[in-house]
Amino acid sequence: MNPKPKRVVDRKFLDEHHKANCVVHRRPGCDPSHIQSRGARGDDVPENVLPLCNDCHRYQHQHGWLALSERHPEVAWELEARGWRLDERGRLRRA
C-alpha cells in the first residue's frame, strides 16, 4: 500500500495572506482560502490559495466557489489565473 503524499505546509506563506487584501473587496486582513481544501491535501502554495476577507471566505464555505464566482466575477478570474476552472457542474478542476 502506498502512503498518502504529504501536503505542502507553509505557515509563513499563510501568515502573509492575513496581511493581503481580499480579491473581492480589497479589504486588508484576509483569510487564506484554499481552493483545494487542506482536507483534500491542498497545498499551501500560490496556485491553491486565494486571499478572501472573512465575509467572502464564509460565503465560499457555505455556498461554494461557483456561487462566489457568479456573485463576484473577479473570483473566477483569480481562479483562472491560478490554473483552475469551474466545470459545467460548478466543480473546480485544474486547467
What pLDDT, on the 0 to 100 scale, is given for residue 43?
A: 92
Residue ranges in the chain whose pLDDT is less than 70: 1
pTM, two decimals, is 0.86
In degrees and rounded to multiples of 5, residue 94 shows phi and psi of -70, 135
Full domain range(s) for residue 35: 11-94
Please give the Cα distance from 75 to 39 (Å, whole number): 22
What pLDDT, on the 0 to 100 scale, is given for residue 79?
A: 96
Q: Is residue 4 part of a domain?
A: no
CATH number of the domain that residue 33 is part of? 1.10.30
Q: Is residue 69 part of a domain?
A: yes
